[in-house]
Structure 1
Amino acid sequence: MVIVVGSQKGGVGKTTIATNLAAWLVKKGSDVLLVDADDQGSAADFTAWREANLDQCGYTLVQLTGSNVRKQIEALKPKYDHIVIDTGGRDTTSQRAAMFVCDIYLSPFAPRSYDLWTVTKVATLVDEIQAGREPFAAYSFLSRADIKSADNREVSLALQDYSQLTFLPFPISNRKAFANSASKGLAVFEMEEPDKKAVAELDALFNHIIHGNVITTTAQKATV
């Protein structure tokens, strides 16, 4: 399965989701490829820290950009159980190329008005890619959500208005545990004393994505 984590805005936690998902899939016994398709190289930096702190990284990392992403992923797909692709926070050739070969597209949104403004751009991008290939599952969810805030509910309701992106009610909160673990190249559940709430949030989101995934066309979503 090829899973792309993408957005039209930086700072929404894409790399956090991608790296934790890769480590989570490894923990489940899968052979995983993590692709850093973001020019900033955050997933590669995370992996460098991971290799320095662990005897075994657990997954394979490659850095790919541009249209080469599509060609290389098509060639690599048969070799791995899962491929997780971390793309940049804007409309790039890399993100589009990754979406052309993905099974699942994940787009996190922070509960802020200036983050929500980008949802129309993301929905349009999904429409464009869906028109040129077989249908894939596209999801939105809250990332870096406030622990207690009315903004969470307001943005959640707004995201549900976009049929191109199935909204997942499994928010990832803005917890220090994510930054603390990332600084060591670890997933939150790999810490010596893991934050149980952070772990539970990831488990809920990832279990639904991997085990509850149903690919639905945009037309079918619109009728639900």
Structure 2
Amino acid sequence: MIIGVLSQKGGVGKTTIAVNLAATFAKSGLRVLLVDADPQGSALQWSAARDAEPLFSVVGMAKATLHRELPDIAKDYQVVVIDGAPRVNELGRAAILASDVVLIPVQPSPYDIWAAAETVRLIQEAQQFKENLKGVFVINRKIANTAIGRDVTEALGQFEDIPVLPAALHQRVIYAESAGQGLSVLEVEPKGEAAREVASLAKLLMTKQEKRKAA
């Protein structure tokens, strides 16, 4: 399974989600590759900050040819997570075409909802060449018990073919604190709320992939 974490808007938490998803899959015993397809190289920086033994492989592939080069590399892994580039259409298209599922992080903000439309357009464009490609939204940095957290889910309903996953990620300091050490939330607080919500997200993505294969 290849999961592309993509948004045309920067600062939505792509790298945080990609890193923690990769760690969660790896901790479950799967062979995992994290592909840094963002020219900023945030996932590679996270890996460089790490003193502990690596949980998974990390490679930099910010290339417009990613969708052609990745299949040969991906065959050695059970799960590949792509940390995609924001605002770069050529790289964004390549990451989408390389993916089985595109995960679109959306914060509870009208700016994120507006930006989501462009990512959805790129997915729809890619589906002309890859009809089994799926897209899903995940609400990131949700603030519990606020109306805006509920409103964003309703607003995303306008994109009928892209469902909102029920596993939202909440605003938690541990995401930033763990990243600074090159660690995942699962390693810092394995029984914490952040680890549980990322595990729920990983399980949903795996279930979607199994359904896609069965279809």
> Which residue of structure 1 lines up, in the alignment, with residue 203 of structure 2?
207
CA-CA distance at 1:91 after TM superposition = 4.0
CA-CA distance at 1:194 after TM superposition = 4.8
Determine the C-alpha separation between the residues in 2 that align with 1:127 and 1:189: 34
CA-CA distance at 1:6 after TM superposition = 0.2
1:142-221 maps to which residues of 2 (within 5 A)?
A: 142-191=139-188, 193-194=189-190, 196-213=192-209, 214-215=211-212
Gap regions ≥5 residues in structure 2:
none
CA-CA distance at 1:93 after TM superposition = 1.5
> Which residue of structure 2 lines up, in the alignment, with residue 18 of structure 1?
18
> Which residue of structure 2 lines up, in the alignment, with residue 125 of structure 1?
122
Mapped contact 1:7–1:107 kept (Cα < 8 A)? yes
Mapped contact 1:177–1:195 kept (Cα < 8 A)? no
> Which residue of structure 1 lines up, in the alignment, with residue 29 of structure 2?
29
Query: What amino acid is aligned across from residue 108 of structure 2 in structure 1?
Result: P
Mapped contact 1:123–1:164 kept (Cα < 8 A)? no
SS in 2 for 1:207: helix
> Which residue of structure 1 lines up, in the alignment, with residue 107 of structure 2?
110
Determine the C-alpha separation between the residues in 1 that align with 2:49 and 2:135: 30
Aligned pairs, number: 212
Gap regions ≥5 residues in structure 1:
217-224
Query: What amino acid is aligned across from residue 97 of structure 1 in structure 2?
Result: A
Mapped contact 1:2–1:103 kept (Cα < 8 A)? yes
CA-CA distance at 1:157 after TM superposition = 0.7
Mapped contact 1:23–1:187 kept (Cα < 8 A)? yes
- The alignment-based identity, stated in percent, is 35
So what's the TM-score if we normalise by structure 1? 0.89
SS in 2 for 1:185: coil
Mapped contact 1:46–1:183 kept (Cα < 8 A)? yes
Determine the C-alpha separation between the residues in 2 that align with 1:195 and 1:77: 30
Determine the C-alpha separation between the residues in 1 that align with 2:172 and 2:190: 12
Mapped contact 2:16–2:175 kept (Cα < 8 A)? yes
Determine the C-alpha separation between the residues in 2 that align with 1:181 and 1:91: 28
Determine the C-alpha separation between the residues in 2 that align with 1:181 and 1:195: 14
